[in-house]
């Protein structure tokens, strides 16, 4: 039982073999997949995948890097897509100061607006935050995000920031980076964080774990991530799968 909490199977990297690959996931132990939105233009494809495969769900949202292309009209449409029966979260939303743009005030505007939407629709959030630890934390605190719920996806900060987010009750999304030899900071975070607040993710097609680093990623690589978490925390592999699976089901409100 593996819960893939963050994938991008709508990406053109999967155009050649999307159907074949998705069909193969359940027989390889991947029981749930959440495909996460990043730009407005691909949201329909994510919902279409969710409609076609019973184990696929959708998160709709605008990545901070795409916020300069947003307007009120698109936001109204986004809201409708968020009401789709298979939409389980708003994401990925947040702040990214690594790149030159969009400018920070634009990113903040749409981050706040999408947090409000998440609250209004009672959907949890998937947060993308890069080189923006303080602003992300401050905006989430101001929005009382602890009442909404969030996964801090592809967690890239240190133990001190992890502590702040964990104290607010958020989950940390752990992916391929934890297997990298230069992933020491994330290994420390995984050691520190309770297993009850970790979830597994690929962010595929990106960030394939060792031994497939650099290749196209897919949910089939999640066992490598879980094995590394098990090693770091010195717990059985099956326990990592079970607890992270339960965490994700609870987070996305998919309890049976």
Contact residues toward Ni ion (CB under 5 A) are 203
Nearer to Ni ion, 4 or 203 (CB): 203
* Beta carbons within 8 Å of 183's beta carbon, 6+ residues apart: 177
Nearer to Ni ion, 120 or 131 (CB): 131
Nearer to Ni ion, 10 or 228 (CB): 10
Q: How far is the CB of 132 from Ni ion (least distance, A)?
A: 15
Q: How far is the CB of 203 from Ni ion (least distance, A)?
A: 4
Three-state SS at 243: helix
Nearer to Ni ion, 9 or 224 (CB): 9
Nearer to Ni ion, 235 or 252 (CB): 252
Which residue sits closest to Ni ion, CB atoms considered?
203
Give yes or no for a contact between 30 and 4, defined as CB atoms under 8 angstroms apart: yes
Three-state SS at 104: helix
Q: How far is the CB of 126 from Ni ion (least distance, A)?
A: 8
Helix pair 72-82, 43-52: axis angle to 10 deg = 10
Instruction: Work out whether the CA dihedral 193, 196, 197, 198 comes out positive or negative.
Output: positive
Q: Give the per-residue SS3 of 69-99.
A: HCCHHHHHHHHHHHCCCCEEEEEEEEEECCC
Nearer to Ni ion, 203 or 228 (CB): 203
Q: How far is the CB of 76 from Ni ion (least distance, A)?
A: 24
- What is the C-alpha to C-alpha distance for residues 196 and 244, in angstroms, rounded to an integer? 7
Q: How far is the CB of 256 from Ni ion (least distance, A)?
A: 27
Nearer to Ni ion, 145 or 154 (CB): 154
Two structure tokens written together for 44: 């329909």
Q: How far is the CB of 186 from Ni ion (least distance, A)?
A: 16
Two structure tokens written together for 211: 């031994």
Q: How far is the CB of 239 from Ni ion (least distance, A)?
A: 26
Computed over its alpha carbons, how large is the radius of gyration of the chain?
17
Three-state SS at 188: helix
Give yes or no for a contact between 33 and 229, defined as CB atoms under 8 angstroms apart: no
């Amino acid at each position: 039982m593996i819960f893939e909490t963050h994938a991008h199977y709508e990406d053109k990297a999967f155009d050649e073999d999307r159907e074949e690959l998705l069909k193969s996931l359940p027989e390889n132990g991947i029981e749930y997949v959440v495909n996460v939105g990043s730009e407005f233009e691909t949201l329909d494809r994510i919902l279409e995948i969710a409609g076609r495969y019973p184990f696929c769900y959708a998160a709709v949202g605008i990545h901070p890097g795409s916020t300069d292309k947003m307007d009120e009209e698109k936001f109204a449409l986004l809201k409708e897509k968020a009401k789709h029966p298979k939409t389980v979260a708003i994401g990925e939303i947040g702040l990214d100061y690594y790149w030159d743009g969009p400018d920070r005030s634009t990113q903040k505007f749409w981050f706040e607006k999408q947090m409000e939407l998440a609250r209004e629709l009672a959907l949890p959030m998937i947060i993308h935050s890069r080189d923006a630890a303080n602003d992300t934390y401050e905006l989430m605190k101001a929005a009382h995000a602890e009442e909404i719920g969030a996964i801090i996806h592809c967690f890239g900060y240190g133990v001190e920031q992890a502590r702040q987010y964990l104290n607010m009750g958020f989950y940390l999304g752990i992916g391929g980076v934890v297997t990298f030899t230069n992933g020491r900071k994330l290994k420390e975070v995984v050691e520190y964080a309770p297993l009850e607040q970790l979830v597994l993710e690929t962010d595929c097609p990106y960030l394939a774990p060792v031994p497939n680093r650099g290749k196209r990623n897919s949910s089939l690589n999640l066992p490598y991530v879980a094995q590394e978490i098990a090693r770091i925390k010195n717990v059985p592999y099956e326990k990592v799968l079970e607890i992270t699976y339960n965490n994700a089901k609870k987070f996305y409100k998919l309890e049976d």
